[in-house]
Structure 1
Amino acid sequence: MGFIDAALSYPTGLLSALLAVVLVYWLLALVGLADFETDGLEWQADVDAGELSGAAALLVGLGLGGVPFSIAASLVVLLAWTFCCLAAMWVLPTEPGLLMQIGAGTGVLLLALAWGVLLTSRLIRPLRPLFKTHQAQLNADLVGQPCTVLTGSVDEKLGQAEIKQAGASLNVRVWAASPNDFKRGSTARIAEYDAARGRYRIEPV
């Protein structure tokens, strides 16, 4: 069987229609008419499948979470279509009779989808960190954390300190009631956040 015949015949024809939809979707995304990151169907790898419903919960359970739905679905369709098309070219023509070919085609379709899901779950693993949502840290979240004074002194008007964070450090404005013993290199504790002036009050550890 030739490539065109295999792509249009059962069962590959069903996946060919889905693949055409996928191609149109990515063409729209390419010109800016669709956004693959905000299609409303993405989920994160650390979401509990019990908190989802329908197809989303099913696909998360299959290991397809952590990336936008459009990426996972596109990979599944592409991989399943490739498997199904090759089987239609080399395996299905050997089956005698129409009923045998339909039965074998259905089996090939199910096997192609299972293979597509399995391989996709492995391919998207290194992509998950790229789509992980990081919640912005609030100013109040820094209260209670230790910091290191960067300025020569700290008073009611002037002060700067560094707060160690995972992978980075934050330089923030600080103040403290005078008199105090703060100097460059002193360790202090963030006591409260002054939202009106955008600075933190520090106190001795």
Structure 2
Amino acid sequence: MKEIWNLAISPQVLPLTLLLVPVALYWLLNLLGTLDLDFLDVDIDADGPDGGDSSGGHWFHGALRFVNATDVPLMFVLTVLVILLWACTMIGNVWFDASQSGLTGGLIMGVSLVASVVMTRYVVAPLKPFFRMLRADDEKHPPVVGRTGLVRTAWVDERTGQVEIEMQGAPLLLNAKVATGTLSLPKNTEVIVIAHDADTGIYIVRSISDSIPPQSL
């Protein structure tokens, strides 16, 4: 046990050990009911720093999809990632860095990051149906097919996005996508909800301008 503790506070692992502290505190506060845990309403916007589309936004959304953070609560995914990263780094240092070399420790951390991201994807994947069921139970609202709204993420494409639908009382933020073969819709595009995929809980939308026939001269 002493050896594990000494390794956990060694320079090669200490940053990750410290990272476990806020993660543990977050879950402790939620367990005690002190912190409001609003899992399923996280608004993940892929806008760049200027509020518009960016290559960074595309990369960010792609990374979220890779680790299943678009279907499973983001904080849960991050918790799994941090724990796996810490564990892989610990094991890597035990096996390959007995001398506690800084260079070797840095390489181990880099390899551990890649390995932990891949492992997080597969560890979290079996939980996707469970959280989709929770989301479905949480989204008890009047039918929205046929209603109009606005794109609230940087875009809505064939795989992901969010739209805001005006409802009586408060607007609804829905996970949405466009139909296969349809162009992506940028932020603030006015859309109409045309269908609902019951298996994924995602709504199909299209631009209102595509629904308005051209005026004849």
TM-score (norm. length: structure 2): 0.51
Which of 79, 87, 97 does residue 84 from structure 2 map onto? Answer: 79
The 1:120–1:36 alpha-carbon spacing in structure 2 relative to 1, beyond 3 Å, is farther
1:63 has 2:67 as partner:
yes
8 A contact 2:20–2:82 mirrored in 1: yes
Q: Secondary structure at the match of 2:98?
A: helix
**How many Å apart are 1:138 and its aligned residue?**
3.6
Residues 13-162 of structure 1: pairs in structure 2 closer than 5 A: 13-38=14-39, 41=42, 53=57, 56-65=60-69, 66-94=71-99, 101-132=101-132, 133-134=135-136, 136=140, 138=142
Q: Secondary structure at the match of 2:72?
A: coil
Structure 2: 5+ residue stretches without partners: 45-53, 147-197, 200-217
Q: What percentage of residue pairs aligned between the two structures are identical?
A: 21
The 1:55–1:9 alpha-carbon spacing in structure 2 relative to 1, beyond 3 Å, is farther
**Displacement over 3 Å in runs of 4+:** 35-43, 52-56, 133-142
Q: Secondary structure at the match of 2:68?
A: coil
In structure 2, distance between residues paired with 1:55 and 1:73: 17
In structure 2, distance between residues paired with 1:121 and 1:7: 25
Read off the aligned partner of 2:10 and give its amino acid letter. Answer: S
TM-score (norm. length: structure 1): 0.54
8 A contact 1:29–1:36 mirrored in 2: yes
8 A contact 1:75–1:120 mirrored in 2: yes
Residues 160-175 of structure 1: pairs in structure 2 closer than 5 A: none
In structure 1, distance between residues paired with 2:7 and 2:130: 36
Q: Deviation string for 1:44-97 (max 9, x for gaps)? A: xxxxxx9x93885253143332111110000011011111112223321246xx
**How many Å apart are 1:28 and its aligned residue?**
0.5
Read off the aligned partner of 1:8 and give its amino acid letter. Answer: I
**How many Å apart are 1:40 and its aligned residue?**
5.8
8 A contact 2:67–2:77 mirrored in 1: no
The 1:89–1:131 alpha-carbon spacing in structure 2 relative to 1, beyond 3 Å, is same
Read off the aligned partner of 1:80 and give its amino acid letter. Answer: L
In structure 1, distance between residues paired with 2:91 and 2:60: 29
Q: Secondary structure at the match of 2:34?
A: coil
Structure 1: 5+ residue stretches without partners: 44-49, 96-100, 143-165, 168-205
The 1:94–1:34 alpha-carbon spacing in structure 2 relative to 1, beyond 3 Å, is same
Q: Deviation string for 1:1-23 (max 9, x for gaps)? A: 92111101122111101111111
The 1:8–1:136 alpha-carbon spacing in structure 2 relative to 1, beyond 3 Å, is same
